[in-house]
């Protein structure tokens, strides 16, 4: 049964692109763009006279208050709101930093309408936008109501070294830097990554990061003092 329409706020300083995306989203059943802002400061100001959003679609590079600062503000002040990053570049470093600031996934601005709709459904129903970061088999299982496949038995299969690797993957480090910190070769780190891809059913580093944060292996709150 279809629930109430999800209230979406769009924060992006490119107004023409933002307006076009808002018109597209408003054609999707169950979703409505009710607020648009040029940057984080504009968004916070508008919230004084508006309802809290269910979902925020957030650009990274903006004047006055950028996506990193805005995502962190949302995480601290709107804990029930789910943030998805809007970006033109598929950059692991930027996306990982945004996830550590509370984002639940990302969508490329040039994605097809059906991909955009699917991403919003995942944010609403799962809490994270995972489809492009997990295997098709895992994605299908995750979309089954009440079927939480990323719990208990999967986590128990992780070795101590794999758990350490997962924590380091969540930081803004290259794989070579992770290898140095773990006192292993770059090839060994590749082995940890590939083993975790197989065990967890993910297909990207971002997928590993989301899994680690979602299941308490890495705590975004402990990384606050490492950021500027």
32-84 pLDDT, tens digit each:
999 999 999 999 999 999 999 999 999 999 999 999 999 999 999 999 999 99
The residue ranges of every structural domain in the chain are 6-129, 152-226
Q: Is pLDDT at 91 greater than 80 in this prediction?
A: no
Burial class (CB in 10 A: 0-12, 13-18, 19+), 214: middle
Q: Give residue 204's pLDDT.
A: 85
pLDDT, one tens digit per residue, over 50-59 is 999 999 999 9
At 140, the pLDDT band (50, 70, 90 cuts) reads low
Using one digit for the tens of pLDDT, what is the confidence trace for 176-213?
A: 999 999 999 999 999 999 999 988 888 888 888 888 88
Q: What is the pTM of this model?
A: 0.80
- Fold for the domain defined by 6-129: Rossmann fold (3.40.50)
Contact between 175 and 182 under an 8 Å Cβ cutoff? The reply is no
Q: In CATH, what number does 152-226 get?
A: 1.10.10.10
Both tokens of 191, joined, read 């082995």
Averaged confidence pLDDT in the chain: 85
């Amino acid at each position: 049964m279809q629930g109430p329409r999800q209230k979406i706020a769009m924060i992006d300083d490119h107004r023409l692109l933002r307006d076009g995306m808002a018109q597209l989203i408003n054609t999707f059943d169950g979703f409505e763009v009710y607020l648009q802002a040029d940057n984080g400061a504009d968004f916070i100001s508008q919230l004084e006279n508006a309802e809290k959003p269910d979902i925020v679609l957030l650009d990274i590079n903006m004047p006055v208050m950028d996506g990193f600062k805005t995502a962190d503000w949302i995480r601290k002040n709107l804990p029930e709101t789910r943030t998805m990053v809007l970006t033109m570049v598929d950059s692991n470093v930027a996306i990982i930093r945004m996830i550590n600031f509370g984002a639940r996934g990302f969508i490329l601005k040039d994605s097809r309408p059906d991909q955009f709709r699917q991403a919003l459904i995942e944010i609403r129903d799962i809490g994270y936008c995972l489809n492009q970061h997990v295997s098709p088999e895992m994605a299908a299982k995750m979309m089954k109501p009440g079927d939480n496949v990323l719990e208990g038995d999967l986590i128990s299969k992780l070795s101590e070294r794999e758990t350490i690797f997962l924590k380091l993957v969540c930081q803004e480090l290259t794989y070579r830097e992770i290898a140095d910190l773990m006192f292993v070769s770059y090839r060994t780190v590749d082995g940890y990554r590939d083993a975790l891809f197989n065990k967890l059913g993910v297909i990207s580093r971002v997928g590993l990061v989301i899994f680690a944060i979602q299941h308490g292996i890495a705590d975004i709150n402990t990384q606050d003092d490492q950021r500027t």
